């Protein structure tokens, strides 16, 4: 070996010879394999030797998938470090992807590397228990058993708001990462676990412990909440929250518990690195992820040994999962923590943020009006709110049927916290309510970018776009669908004759997305957000109610608006400008009255490309073939690789389009025509999209409280 090193050191040109030779051999092997492909197989996207398209996919995420679809059609294959993955976009293929029997398309082999490398759950032990765990979770989270959990969640959210809101201007994303994480952890893992986090995370001393003692942490927040509960009824809930924001109370502002803050930081460090951790890249190069996972496993294991999960959803799942070795219990809890948090936090963010756009002011007003009407309906019941709770979500029907000048519509007293949470819970459980449809539409627009399965036996799928009318896929091929791209496809979300709005438009009143006979994927505005078939999300109903409840409580507690002074001028429609400035056209009825209609038509969109394309008209270029510009002053190795591989392989392999980073699709117009919201991170494939920048929001006193104050002065 030393002799070889000496020779190479003396003759550097040999390095180039060795490298170029290796590239040539790998390229030749790749060309031979491509030549042997079935002519009815999906088109293979050109790529680099060995790594294929992995580098480009990692750089651009769903933008790269969209570019491949535009060039290669509704079915194409990417080579990811030697593994082929075929994407399916034809509407007829998507329901079969979810509903096919396991002997045709299977789930386990496609995700076992993910569960092993990310959560440490070995395939041999975990997957025999997997389907039983999904069944048990569905039993634990049936809709009829969630009312008590939602009541507790909503009450805690209102109690904890003063810990996370200290100024009239906040970053909505940071607020969600703090408050929503805190509340959701309590909902699934229990209050006892959260109360012990300071000790479990070893932050009872030092600077963090000193801050906890100085500001009182959550304990001070609870003391403040108890003080407010002793005040007259009119000052309950949002009024008290606004007084806290004004500093009207005589206590220093409460701060989040340091244990929760540390757990949150550790979890989001883990969550930000888990996609890379699932790849073949050795964990030795991912120290932040490895350290975060080790800390989470330590905390969850210590809490489990103390019995802190007893009587919670997490504890019940552990008890019902018989056959799980004791040393893997923390790993299962980590998987549950990720499943319950990773999508909830960004979902609450987008569901709220879309409603703050000027053009969506009517939808926002409709949600608040619907909640007010639900409260009034409950108060009018002979037995009060308790009787209304037994009738389900009466607000969706009562809103349209009760006259605006009825006696209950003139109630001037503010409802209690428990009454607000109970009414919001009933509406969140009703999929026909305005908040449920707004949440579903936000999920549709910011859904995950990939769902994965594996071909268990050779497939021969009828295809409108494949040569010969058939798509043949061999056994062992990875299959993928891209819900994010598909949800912007007019064939799925706005088929001809359906009357649905353009898929790029935020429209909660759009018809439910129905695939096939509706058995593979539950018909819903949210579409593919919760998956389908036997491996669909087991906590769907729990998540939908959580989202609807938290969004309502945000809008009820504060008058929220985007912190952009020119929001109205940057929006393209007169209605949006009027909504942003708070003005009404002459002769128009107030927004509060118009909100009773609930079925609000969308703004007429600009012309879009033909059905089957998910790109805005401005992004459709006559020549979509990517071109790799000549790089001046490049190395000899680069020049040789470009000569051997060709511009196409270099372009698609590195993700270089029209230069270094060309005009790829960024979806800035998706649900946000004026671009007021922060762009989403398109590189993230698994899970709901997260924003790339802060989203500053101005908090004001709710209008109904201002009206009540004016009446009191009169």
Query: What is the predicted pLDDT for the residue at 591?
Result: 34
User: Is pLDDT above 60 for 406?
Assistant: no
In the 8-state DSSP scheme, what is residue 115? I
In the 8-state DSSP scheme, what is residue 513? B
Of residues 573 and 668, more confidently modeled: 668
- Convert the pLDDT of each residue in 434-460 to its tens digit: 999 999 999 999 999 999 999 999 999
Q: How far is CA 713 from CA 249, 257, 706, in A?
A: 22, 39, 11
Please identify which residue in the block is written with the tokens 């909640």.
Answer: 371
Q: Which of 112, 74, 46, 43 is nearest to 481 (CA)?
A: 74
Q: Which of 335, 334, 318 is nearest to 326 (CA)?
A: 318
CA distance 36 to 133: 42
CA distance 683 to 270: 17
Please identify which residue in the block is written with the tokens 């570019």.
Answer: 67
Q: How far is CA 395 from CA 207, 333, 370, 652, 713, in A?
A: 49, 37, 6, 53, 31
User: Is pLDDT above 60 for 595?
Assistant: no
Six-digit token string for 217 = 């942490």
Query: What is the predicted pLDDT for the residue at 408?
Result: 45
In the 8-state DSSP scheme, what is residue 116? I
What's the average model confidence in pLDDT over 499-513? 92
Q: What is the CA radius of gyration of the chain?
A: 27
Q: In what order do the strands lie in the sheet with 169-171?
A: 169-171, 696-700, 559-562
User: Is pLDDT above 90 for 39?
Assistant: no
Of residues 613 and 533, more confidently modeled: 533
Strand pairing of 43-44 and 75-80?
A: parallel
Number of other CB atoms surrounding residue 590 within 10 Å: 9
Query: What is the predicted pLDDT for the residue at 485?
Result: 96
User: Is pLDDT above 50 for 510?
Assistant: yes
Contact 642, 538 (CB under 8 A): no
Least confident of 249-263, 333-347, 654-668: 654-668
Q: Which of 478, 485, 492 is nearest to 664 (CA)?
A: 485
Least confident of 137-146, 336-345, 362-371, 656-665: 656-665
Average pLDDT, the chain: 79
For the packed helices 636-645 and 647-654, what is the interaxial angle rounded to 10 degrees? 110
CA distance 614 to 9: 53
Torsion 631-637-639-645 (CA) sign: negative
User: What pLDDT band is residue 657 in, cutting at 50, 70 and 90?
Assistant: confident
DSSP helix/strand/coil, 627: coil
Least confident of 15-24, 158-167, 538-547: 15-24
Q: What is the set of domains in the chain, with CATH numbers?
A: 1-110+452-486+622-662 (no CATH), 120-190+217-254+309-447+520-601+670-714 (1.10.630)
Strand partners, 470: 462
Contact 482, 449 (CB under 8 A): yes
User: What pLDDT band is residue 2 in, cutting at 50, 70 and 90?
Assistant: low
The alpha carbon of residue 39 and the mean position of all alpha carbons in its chain are separated, in whole angstroms, by: 38
pTM of the shown model: 0.82
Contact 538, 103 (CB under 8 A): no
Six-digit token string for 5 = 């090193």
Helix segments in 51-205, DSSP class H: 54-60, 62-72, 93-99, 108-114, 123-140, 147-164, 172-175, 181-189, 191-195, 197-200
What's the average model confidence in pLDDT over 644-662? 75
User: Is pLDDT above 90 for 707?
Assistant: no
**DSSP structure string for 577-607:** HHHHHT---TTPPPHHHHGGG--PPPPPPPP
- Convert the pLDDT of each residue in 330-363 to its tens digit: 999 999 999 999 899 999 999 999 999 999 999 9
- Convert the pLDDT of each residue in 530-574 to its tens digit: 999 888 899 999 999 999 999 999 999 999 999 875 544 455 554
- Phi/psi for 49 (5° steps) reads -60, 145
Query: What is the predicted pLDDT for the residue at 30?
Result: 54
CA angle (656 as vertex; 487, 69 as ends), nearest 5: 30
């Amino acid at each position: 070996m030393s002799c070889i090193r000496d020779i190479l050191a003396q003759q550097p040109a040999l390095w180039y010879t060795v490298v170029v030779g290796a590239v040539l051999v790998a390229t030749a092997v790749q060309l031979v394999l491509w030549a042997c492909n079935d002519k009815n197989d999906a088109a293979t996207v050109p790529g680099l030797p060995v790594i294929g398209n992995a580098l480009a996919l990692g750089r651009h995420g769903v933008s790269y998938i969209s570019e491949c679809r535009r060039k290669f059609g509704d079915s194409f294959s990417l080579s990811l470090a030697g593994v082929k993955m075929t994407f399916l976009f034809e509407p007829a293929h998507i329901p079969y992807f979810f509903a096919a029997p396991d002997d045709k398309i299977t789930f386990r082999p496609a995700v076992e590397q993910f569960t092993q490398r990310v959560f440490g759950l070995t395939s041999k032990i975990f997957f025999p228990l997997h389907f039983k765990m999904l069944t048990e979770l569905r039993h634990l989270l049936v809709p009829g058993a969630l009312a008590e959990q939602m009541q507790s969640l909503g009450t805690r959210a209102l109690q904890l708001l003063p810990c996370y809101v200290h100024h009239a201007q906040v970053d909505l994303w940071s607020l969600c990462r703090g408050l929503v994480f805190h509340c959701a952890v309590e909902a699934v893992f229990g209050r006892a676990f959260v109360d012990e986090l300071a000790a479990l995370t070893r932050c009872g001393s030092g600077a963090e412990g000193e801050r906890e003692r100085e500001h009182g942490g959550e304990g001070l927040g609870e003391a403040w909440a108890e003080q407010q509960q002793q005040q007259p009824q009119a000052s309950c809930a949002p009024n008290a929250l606004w007084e806290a924001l004004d500093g009207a109370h005589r206590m220093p502002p409460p701060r989040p518990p340091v244990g929760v803050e540390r757990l949150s930081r550790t979890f989001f460090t883990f969550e930000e690195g888990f996609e890379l951790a699932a790849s073949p890249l050795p964990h030795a190069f991912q120290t932040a992820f490895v350290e975060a996972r080790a800390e989470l496993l330590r905390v969850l294991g210590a809490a489990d040994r103390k019995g802190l999960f007893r009587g919670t959803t997490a504890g019940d799942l552990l008890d019902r999962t018989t056959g799980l070795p004791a040393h893997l219990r923390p790993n299962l809890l980590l998987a549950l923590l990720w499943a319950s948090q990773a999508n909830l936090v960004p979902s609450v963010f987008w569901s709220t943020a879309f409603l703050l756009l000027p053009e969506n002011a009517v939808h926002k007003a409709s949600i608040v009006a619907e909640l007010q009407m639900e409260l009034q309906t409950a108060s009018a019941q002979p037995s009060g709110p308790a009787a209304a709770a037994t009738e389900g979500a009466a607000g969706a029907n009562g809103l349209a049927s009760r006259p605006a000048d009825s006696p209950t519509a003139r109630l001037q007293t503010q409802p209690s916290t428990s009454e607000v949470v109970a009414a919001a819970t009933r509406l969140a459980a009703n999929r026909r309510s305005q908040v449920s449809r707004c949440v579903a539409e936000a999920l549709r627009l910011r859904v995950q970018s990939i769902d994965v399965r594996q071909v268990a036996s050779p497939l021969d799928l009828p295809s409108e776009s494949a040569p010969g009318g058939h798509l043949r896929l061999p056994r062992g091929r990875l299959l993928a669908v891209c819900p994010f791209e598909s949800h912007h496809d007019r064939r799925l979300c706005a088929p001809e004759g359906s009357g649905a709005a353009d898929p790029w438009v935020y429209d909660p009143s759009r018809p439910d997305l129905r695939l096939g006979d509706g058995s593979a994927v539950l018909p819903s505005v949210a579409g593919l957000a919760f998956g389908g078939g036997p491996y669909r999300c087991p906590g769907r109903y729990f998540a939908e109610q959580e989202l609807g409840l938290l969004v309502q409580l945000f809008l009820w507690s504060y008058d929220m608006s985007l912190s952009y002074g020119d929001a109205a001028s940057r929006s393209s429609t007169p209605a949006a400008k009027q909504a942003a400035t708070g003005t009404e056209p002459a002769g128009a009825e107030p927004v509060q009255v118009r909100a009773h209609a609930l079925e609000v038509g969308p703004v007429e969109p600009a012309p879009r490309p033909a059905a089957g394309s998910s790109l805005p008209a401005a992004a459709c270029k006559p020549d979509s073939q990517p071109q790799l510009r000549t790089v001046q002053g490049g190395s000899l190795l680069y020049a040789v690789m470009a000569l051997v591989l060709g511009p196409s392989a270099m372009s698609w392999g590195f993700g270089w389009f029209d230069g270094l980073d060309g005009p790829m699709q960024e979806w800035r117009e998706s649900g946000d025509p004026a671009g007021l919201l922060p762009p989403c991170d398109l590189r993230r494939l698994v899970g709901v999209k997260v924003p790339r920048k802060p989203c500053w929001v101005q908090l004001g006193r709710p209008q109904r409280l201002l009206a009540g104050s004016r009446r009191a002065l009169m």
